[in-house]
Structure 1
Amino acid sequence: MQFRAKILNQRMAVEHVDVDASSEAEARRFVAASGARVLDLRPARAGLKRAPRQKKFNLSVFNQQLHSLLDAGQTVVEAIEVLGQNDRRGRHRAIYDTLLQGLRQGNQLSDAMATLPSVFSPLYIAMVRASETTGTVRAAIRRFMLYQRQIDEIRGKISAAATYPAILLSVGFLVISFLLLYVLPRFSAVYDDAGPSRHGEAGFVQLWGSFVRNNTMLAWSSVIVFAAAVLALVLHPALRAMAYRKLLALPWIGERVLVLQLARLYRTLGMLLRSGISVLSAMRMTQASMPITMHADLTAAILAVSEGQAMSTVMSEYKLSTEVAQRLLLAGESSGNLDEMMERIADFYDEETAMWIDTAGRLIEPILMLAIGAVVGAIVLMLYSPIFDLANIV
């Protein structure tokens, strides 16, 4: 969330700044790290005039730069100092200063990161903390970079596949709304004195046009309400969760969506296990990053594993695996490389999802174009058929 802070800066001047933080305590740490003093701090409201929003901290770039510096032989403190000095515009200087302050007080890097929950996720912090005990921070950062790259890759494929259908639906909705609410009522006024045609199309045109002309506000308000409902469905978390549950209930699409989420589940578990985190801790941390619709099954699975049941049995019992995943989990348990098998399962699911996205995109786009074209063509035919009828062409 965003906070509006009134501060006394190092030049002893009072100014107002906007701070992005997860809590008031973190916002105060950000201000203190910059050398300023907080005079007043409150959550920013929509009605307040805000300063330009600060550019979001790019964790991927941070990881790449930190890994390169550590690989070059720099210590963690030296690497953070270099990164802070490299931030010449000072956009994220408070983050680097907060990390340096924690490190110079003798804290571990993970502890310093834990003071910035809006920047570093609990998953990332836990992975760094586990690697600090074995001295493999650099390897853990590289592993997280690979993990993030793989997640972003499949997410990018989904976004790219959904963009064109979304544009088609939006443009089709606007065109059809314009024809039904603007063009058709004006055409129907021309046919009012001509009476119904032999084929009945003009009767519908006259009926709909008369309704829209007499209830203009109601007709346009209905379109606006429908568009607002779709927008709320996309943006509102509770509505998205409800739509997601309905989507999972569908026979074909639900299976594909579940495979996508299982890929993320096993990818995260594999990364955490490879970083040295125990199975139960990894499952609990992974649960927090998964959709809420999967939490009940994951909670039951965690309880079963804590009671000594095998991972392969538990994941199958609570429908958190498929037959291929089941075989790989059994192989991982017998050979002791469960982390590697989980990453293989995630790779298999990602490849399956990528193939499905490609196939679905090739089918959905022409189907949408044909459907929208058919609706627009039907409306145009209804508009012009009465003219042909009046001219005795048909």
Structure 2
Amino acid sequence: MKNKEISVMGNKSFFNREISFFGEKISDKTKFIFFSDLHLLLSSGIDIISTLEIINDNFKNKKEKDLILQIKKNILNGSTFSDALSKSAMFSEYEWYSVKIGEETGKLNIIFKNLSDYYEKRIEQKRKIISTFAYPVLVLITAVGTVFFMLAFIVPMFEDVFKRFNNTELPYITSKIISISKILRGNILLITILITILVLFFIIFRKDKKFIRFQTKVLLHIPIIGEMIKMMHLHRFCLSFELLLGSKTPLLKSIHIVKKMIDFYPIRDALDIIEKDILKGISLYDSMTKFDIFDKRMLSLVKVGEEINKLEDIFSKLKEIYISEIDHKSSTIGSVIEPILIIFIGAFVAIILISMYLPIFKLSSTMGGTF
């Protein structure tokens, strides 16, 4: 059964039901476990229903267990496995279409392995991004907190000391730091309100298309980080194409599916045009050259891939190139940004402390000169 279309005939009225989970999506980790277990258990000769029951027993989350139960019931009611996936909002067209191809070609278990590998790579990629930015972000938050604490609490203590010496003229930098401290303390409520508004604005509009475009445009212009974000999405783009073309999905259908999977608007917008161009008879390479998001190396390799009819292999090679560059950029960020942040924090704290102690040194030298 594992290499044939999985179908159990019966009443199909159950098809109308869907698990929406209030619009939630299951995680990449859950999908990795799901497809990995499917591959392992079906390879062992276990039938699909028993496989789903075992997977259901292994999941602890009620929503995940309900999802597996839904798929099982759909199959028992006559659905193919791909149809069962398509009835749930939890799975993308990419997943259920790949499974459908596997059913039609008798390579379903290979598709499960490919999907498992796909989500494993996505998880690894996310971990790399998190590990790369976690420490710099933590350092930056600590820096802002330290500076805020010094301006709000330490500087006022020195200011009280300076007020006792009315005739002492404060150095320029000291006066400026005290002025900044006063502005901060005098507007702390306003600053808190503004920060709250910004956070709420982000939460409310984080899924708004215009806001996402603006945010993406800003991020792409940040040195190193912008390039890394671009490569991360190009890697995902190549990975998706490799798997779809590897399962013998036609190029036009692959573009249509990948377009729905990619949430990175520069690539998604490009695929909209590329899809239309291919329908007009324009080659993939010629259409891709219209967009800056695709670098020259990718374009050159895609051109070769089209000429020798090896696009799947080309996207596989590009996938490896981009993941290698992401690793390199990650180490670069760690070795460049972190020291810069530490130097920045140290310099800022040093400026505040020196500016506060300058009047004391000046007063000490003045008093020493009077004796």
Structure 1 and Structure 2 fold alike (TM over 0.5): yes
The question of 1:229 aligning with 2:182 is answered no
Instruction: Tell me how far apart the structure 2 counterparts of residues 281 and 359 of structure 1 sit (CA, whole Å).
Output: 38
1:311 corresponds in structure 2 to 284
2:123 corresponds in structure 1 to 152
Alignment of 1:228-247 (within 5 A): 229=198, 233=202, 236-238=206-208, 239-247=211-219
The question of 1:26 aligning with 2:18 is answered yes
1:174 is matched with which residue: 145, 152, 156? 145
Structure 1 300/182 Cα, relative in aligned 2: closer, same or farther at 3 Å?
same
1:4-35 superposed Cα distances (whole Å, 9 cap, x missing partner): xxxxxxxxxxxxxxxxxxxx95348x9xxxxx
Deviation at 1:234, TM superposition (A): 8.1
Structure 1 207/85 Cα, relative in aligned 2: closer, same or farther at 3 Å?
closer
Structure 1 230/354 Cα, relative in aligned 2: closer, same or farther at 3 Å?
farther
Instruction: Tell me how far apart the structure 1 counterparts of residues 64 and 179 of structure 2 sit (CA, whole Å).
Output: 62
Instruction: Tell me how far apart the structure 2 counterparts of residues 198 and 96 of structure 1 sit (CA, whole Å).
Output: 72
Aligned length: 346
Residue 266 of structure 2 contacts residue 293 of structure 2 at CA under 8 Å; is this kept in 1?
Answer: no
1:381 is matched with which residue: 348, 354, 366? 354
2:78 is matched with which residue: 92, 103, 106? 106
Structure 1 86/189 Cα, relative in aligned 2: closer, same or farther at 3 Å?
closer
Deviation at 1:210, TM superposition (A): 4.6
Instruction: Tell me how far apart the structure 2 counterparts of residues 128 and 110 of structure 1 sit (CA, whole Å).
Output: 5
Higher strand residue share = 1
- More displaced, 65-74 or 311-320? 311-320
Q: Which segments of 5 or more consecutive residues in structure 2 lack a partner in the other structure?
A: 1-15
Deviation at 1:255, TM superposition (A): 3.8
2:34 corresponds in structure 1 to 62
Deviation at 1:320, TM superposition (A): 4.4
Higher relative contact order, chain-length normalized (CA < 8 Å, sep 6+) = 2
Residue 161 of structure 1 contacts residue 361 of structure 1 at CA under 8 Å; is this kept in 2?
Answer: yes
Instruction: Tell me how far apart the structure 1 counterparts of residues 222 and 150 of structure 2 sit (CA, whole Å).
Output: 33
Instruction: Tell me how far apart the structure 1 counterparts of residues 254 and 308 of structure 2 sit (CA, whole Å).
Output: 20
Instruction: Tell me how far apart the structure 2 counterparts of residues 90 and 227 of structure 1 sit (CA, whole Å).
Output: 34
Deviation at 1:152, TM superposition (A): 1.9
1:257 is matched with which residue: 204, 212, 229? 229
Residue 56 of structure 2 contacts residue 69 of structure 2 at CA under 8 Å; is this kept in 1?
Answer: yes
Corresponding letter in the other structure for 1:186: M
Deviation at 1:318, TM superposition (A): 2.2
1:128-163 superposed Cα distances (whole Å, 9 cap, x missing partner): 112111111100010111122222222211110100
Structure 1 212/270 Cα, relative in aligned 2: closer, same or farther at 3 Å?
closer
Instruction: Tell me how far apart the structure 1 counterparts of residues 200 and 133 of structure 2 sit (CA, whole Å).
Output: 16
Corresponding letter in the other structure for 2:103: E
1:34-69 superposed Cα distances (whole Å, 9 cap, x missing partner): xxxxxxxxx79xxxxxxxx9x978221111211111
The question of 1:140 aligning with 2:132 is answered no
Instruction: Tell me how far apart the structure 2 counterparts of residues 89 and 170 of structure 1 sit (CA, whole Å).
Output: 34
Alignment of 1:318-357 (within 5 A): 318-357=291-330
1:126 corresponds in structure 2 to 97
Structure 1 351/86 Cα, relative in aligned 2: closer, same or farther at 3 Å?
closer
Instruction: Tell me how far apart the structure 1 counterparts of residues 62 and 272 of structure 2 sit (CA, whole Å).
Output: 43
Q: Secondary structure at the match of 2:105?
A: coil
2:11 corresponds in structure 1 to none
Instruction: Tell me how far apart the structure 1 counterparts of residues 84 and 158 of structure 2 sit (CA, whole Å).
Output: 69
1:15 corresponds in structure 2 to none
Residue 274 of structure 1 contacts residue 339 of structure 1 at CA under 8 Å; is this kept in 2?
Answer: yes
Corresponding letter in the other structure for 1:125: W
Corresponding letter in the other structure for 2:354: L
Residue 128 of structure 1 contacts residue 141 of structure 1 at CA under 8 Å; is this kept in 2?
Answer: yes
Instruction: Tell me how far apart the structure 2 counterparts of residues 107 and 222 of structure 1 sit (CA, whole Å).
Output: 57
1:18 corresponds in structure 2 to none
Q: Which segments of 5 or more consecutive residues in structure 1 lack a partner in the other structure?
A: 1-23, 31-42, 45-52
1:279-334 superposed Cα distances (whole Å, 9 cap, x missing partner): 11111111122213432222111111121111122222223432222232122222
2:6 corresponds in structure 1 to none
Provide the TM-score with structure 2 as the length reference: 0.83
Instruction: Tell me how far apart the structure 2 counterparts of residues 147 and 61 of structure 1 sit (CA, whole Å).
Output: 12
Structure 1 388/275 Cα, relative in aligned 2: closer, same or farther at 3 Å?
same
1:277 corresponds in structure 2 to 249
Corresponding letter in the other structure for 1:147: Y
2:271 is matched with which residue: 280, 290, 298? 298
Deviation at 1:354, TM superposition (A): 1.3
Structure 1 324/372 Cα, relative in aligned 2: closer, same or farther at 3 Å?
same
Q: CA RMSD in A?
A: 3.0
Deviation at 1:237, TM superposition (A): 3.3
Residue 312 of structure 1 contacts residue 329 of structure 1 at CA under 8 Å; is this kept in 2?
Answer: yes
Corresponding letter in the other structure for 1:197: E
